[in-house]
């Protein structure tokens, strides 16, 4: 059946409207702040084959992985599903994201057959585990991250399985909130069921299903046309996640080989580091979701999302690696893996479509949790804070500051002070954009957010699960990196940092202690020395950059009247450009070095060249590219390397698009051999 364009659009928008009404139901009936204020939930419609049929302003990081959960539910219960059944799950290994994202899947029948699954994925602020908020930066196995729920029939034949509900809530903090959030999901799905039946009565089941098939086919055709317009070839990029072994940074490699052939694309992460017993792993659903979100956002951002857009893209993520974790390794770092997959996709696509990509976004979902016993009620409380970071700069403008990134949908990214202080024993001393946190560039990366949360109850515990505390968001096309995340506690006027940057588990707090957090900034786009001086002056006046950055990164020199001294600024820019250390690319090999769990790219440099550049052994550097994303590496001093040269293997040369003999700007990113004590000192400063 081929529908006319008007009927097709009416039914397409009708299904999206169903999802919007689901969202409104959750938003107005949920119990927890993370859902009704911050909107950390998503709704969607799926067909019996587990395809995304419709979504609205939902969180891409929820909806795009959801087909894996629906597929797992069908594998377990598909043969026995009947009207009145409802499935509940949060199992990362069976299509979930992390344990906090609890999903309700609701089968809808018409004319005696299954036609739809409305589904709601909510972030429950606590699902048990070793710390309030469930996400520990030091978990070694999934059992420490909370209650794991395989796909179970939580409602069967219209009757709630009360024993299962009681068992689950007995293992979660703040159970009354969890129960309220569950019923909000259930109500949203029942709302969707009513609206779907209305559409079926008005247009007929066959017409509705034909519209879905036709809509997915045209979405697929549109995406294939976008991919077909790209040059065929293989494009490679690599990035890292952070672990710490014996107090030292051990970076985990995440490579991306992107193959474009005709109207299809293969994203291959073969070579990713093996999974580790720390929360730096995530699931195939999450990793594939990162690939699909990147492609959809870059090439076809305007059209509504459905499974058709995703059909031309194949994802390869080997099991047992950080991008396809297997039991019982922890899986809480879904936001960190997803954002890093987005990053390597951006890095690869910068080589093929540089005008369409942006600088790297803020590296991490930055999960901050504080919880304890409320002195007024005597009950447990949990606050989940994710101060938004900066997005990457792009060709047309600066990256958005402290706003939802492309994988976050319409998530509220600055939680309201009034609500937090009313519901939690916390005082929010300040919330502001962090000066100099956006990566310098022709267009500047978005600024991150700083927030100070002061405890007013006698005791609580603070946990943090994040990444990007050492390796910040990279820029593209010569843009510089943004600021890394940071977190510390202020007690009696003294700043106390943590033993592992970005990873904290149940740090004890007492009344008057303040947790000071700073999310990550976005990467810049283009050489900072090409940014119009008037825009640099405006950034300075607005407090977005400091006087030191305005001069040192952008070459701005002020006249006596506070305006721009153009000749002096141009001279300053010429001096900055001349002072950049560049090395001539020569043939190189042996480019990776393995640690206890890591695999990092090394950059061999003659000791004399390193002295000239102010570099030391094990420093982390960026090999900058004016036409692509930078390559990151660790310095190894090697007298056998010719002075003034940079040995680089063929793969590395492809990443930065540098031919043999080309001169490459080698830029210090972070000092190496970072012990935990050194990192604590840096964080406190």
CA separation for the pair 107, 118 (Å, rounded): 7
What is the structure's pLDDT at 683? 47
- Interval 483-524: pLDDT, tens: 999 999 999 989 998 989 999 999 999 999 999 999 999 999
Report the pLDDT value the prediction gives residue 681, as an integer from 0 to 100.
47
pLDDT at position 679 over 70: no
Coil/strand/helix, residue 490: strand
- C-alpha to C-alpha distances, 422 to 199, 419, 499, nearest whole angstrom: 42, 5, 32
Rounded CA-CA distance 619/671 in Å is 5
More confident residue, 128 or 111: 128
Residue 362 has pLDDT above 70, yes or no: yes
Degrees to nearest 5, angle at CA 360 with 248 and 291: 100
Where residue 685 falls among pLDDT bands split at 50, 70, 90? very low
Average of per-residue pLDDT across 640-645 = 96
What pLDDT score was predicted for residue 676?
46
Nearest to 511 by CA among 462, 459, 461: 459
Summarize the confidence of residues 284-308 as an average pLDDT.
92
* CATH number 2.40.40.20 is the correct assignment for the domain at 582-670: yes
Burial of 258 (0-12, 13-18, 19+ CB in 10 A): buried
pLDDT band at 415 (very low <50, low <70, confident <90, very high): confident
Nearest to residue 667, comparing CAs of 625, 639, 628, 638? 625
Query: Tell me, what's the pLDDT at 295?
Result: 95
Phi, psi of 33 (to 5 degrees): -60, -40
- Residue 125 CB-half CA count within 13 A: 31
Q: How far apart are CA 124 and CA 178, in angstroms?
A: 7
What does the pLDDT look like over 25-59, one tens digit per residue?
999 999 999 899 888 999 999 999 999 999 988 88
Exposure pattern of 9-44 as b/e (b: 16+ CB <10 Å)? eebbebbbebbbbbbebbbebbbbbbbbbbbbbbbb
Structure tokens at 375: 């002195």
> Which is nearest to 525 in space by CA: 685, 667, 641, 356?
356
From edge to edge, which strands make up the β-sheet containing 449-455?
426-433, 449-455, 514-518, 486-491, 494-496
Q: In this structure, are strands 645-648 and 599-605 parallel, antiparallel, or unpaired?
A: unpaired
Residues contacting residue 244 through CB under 8 Å, at least 6 positions apart: 250, 500, 501, 503, 676
Distance of CA 235 to the CA centre of its chain: 22
pLDDT band at 645 (very low <50, low <70, confident <90, very high): very high
Going from the C-alpha of 193 to that of each of 35, 114, 367, 580, the distances in angstroms are 22, 12, 34, 62
In the chain, residues under CATH classification 2.40.40.20 are 582-670
Q: Which of 332, 345, 361 is nearest to 123 (CA)?
A: 332
**Tens of pLDDT along 333-353?**
999 999 999 999 999 999 999
Rounded CA-CA distance 297/412 in Å is: 19
What pLDDT score does 315 carry? Answer: 97
């Amino acid at each position: 059946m081929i529908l006319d364009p008007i009927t097709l659009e009416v039914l397409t928008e009708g299904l999206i409207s169903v999802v919007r009404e689901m969202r409104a139901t959750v938003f107005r009936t949920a119990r927890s702040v993370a859902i009704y204020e911050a909107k950390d939930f998503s709704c969607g419609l799926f067909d019996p084959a587990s395809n995304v049929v419709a979504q609205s302003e939902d969180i891409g990081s929820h909806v795009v992985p959801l087909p894996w959960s629906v597929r797992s539910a069908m594998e377990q219960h598909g043969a026995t599903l009947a009207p009145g059944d409802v499935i509940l799950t949060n199992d990362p290994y069976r299509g979930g994201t992390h344990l906090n994202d609890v999903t309700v899947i609701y089968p809808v029948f018409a004319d005696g057959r299954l036609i739809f699954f409305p589904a709601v994925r909510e972030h429950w602020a606590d699902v048990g585990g070793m710390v309030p908020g469930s996400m520990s930066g030091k978990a070694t196995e999934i059992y420490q991250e909370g209650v794991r729920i395989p796909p179970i029939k939580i409602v069967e034949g219209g009757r709630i399985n009360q024993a299962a509900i009681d068992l689950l809530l007995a293992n979660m903090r703040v159970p009354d909130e969890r129960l309220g959030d569950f019923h909000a999901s259930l109500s949203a799905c029942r709302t969707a069921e009513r609206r779907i039946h209305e559409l079926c009565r008005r247009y007929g089941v066959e017409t509705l299903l034909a519209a879905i098939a036709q809509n997915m086919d045209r979405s697929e055709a549109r995406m294939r046309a976008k991919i077909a317009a790209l040059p065929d070839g293989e494009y490679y990029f690599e990035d890292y996640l952070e672990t710490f072994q014996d107090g030292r940074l051990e970076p985990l490699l995440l490579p991306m080989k992107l193959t474009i052939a005709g109207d299809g694309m293969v994203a291959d992460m073969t070579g990713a580091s093996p999974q580790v017993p720390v929360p730096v792993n995530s699931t195939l659903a999450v990793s594939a979701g990162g690939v699909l979100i990147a492609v959809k956002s870059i090439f076809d951002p305007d059209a509504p999302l459905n499974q058709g857009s995703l059909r031309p893209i194949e994802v390869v993520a080997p099991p047992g690696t950080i991008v396809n974790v297997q039991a019982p390794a922890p899986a809480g770092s879904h936001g960190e893996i997803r954002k890093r997959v987005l990053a390597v996709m951006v890095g690869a696509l910068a080589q093929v479509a540089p005008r369409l990509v942006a600088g790297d976004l803020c590296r991490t979902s930055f999960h901050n949790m504080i919880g304890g016993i409320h002195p007024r009620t005597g009950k447990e409380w949990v606050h989940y804070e994710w101060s938004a970071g900066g997005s990457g700069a792009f060709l047309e403008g600066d990256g958005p500051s402290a706003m939802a990134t492309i994988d976050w949908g319409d998530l509220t990214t600055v939680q309201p002070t009034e609500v937090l202080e009313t519901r939690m024993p916390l005082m929010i001393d300040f919330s502001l954009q962090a000066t100099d946190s956006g990566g310098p560039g022709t267009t500047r990366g978005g600024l991150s957010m700083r927030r100070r949360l002061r405890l007013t109850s006698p005791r609580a515990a603070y946990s943090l699960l994040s990444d990007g505390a050492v390796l910040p968001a990279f820029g593209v096309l010569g843009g510089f990196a943004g600021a890394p995340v940071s977190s510390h506690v202020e007690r009696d006027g003294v700043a106390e940092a943590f033993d592992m940057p970005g990873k904290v588990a149940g740090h004890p707090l007492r009344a008057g202690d303040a947790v000071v957090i700073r999310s990550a900034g976005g990467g810049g786009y283009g050489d900072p020395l090409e940014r119009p001086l008037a825009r640099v002056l405006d950034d300075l006046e607005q407090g977005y950059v400091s006087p030191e950055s305005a001069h040192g990164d952008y070459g701005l020199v002020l006249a006596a009247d506070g305006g721009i001294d153009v000749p002096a600024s141009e001279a300053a820019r010429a001096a900055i450009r001349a002072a950049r250390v560049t090395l001539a690319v020569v043939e190189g090999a042996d480019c990776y070095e393995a640690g206890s769990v890591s695999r990092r790219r090394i950059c061999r440099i003659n000791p004399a060249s390193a002295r000239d550049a102010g570099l030391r052994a094990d420093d982390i550097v960026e090999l900058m590219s004016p036409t692509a994303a930078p390559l990151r590496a660790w310095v190894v001093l090697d007298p056998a390397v010719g002075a003034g040269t940079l040995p680089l293997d063929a793969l590395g040369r492809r990443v930065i698009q540098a031919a043999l003999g080309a001169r490459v700007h080698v830029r210090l990113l972070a000092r190496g051999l970072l012990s935990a004590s050194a990192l604590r000192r840096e964080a406190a400063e």
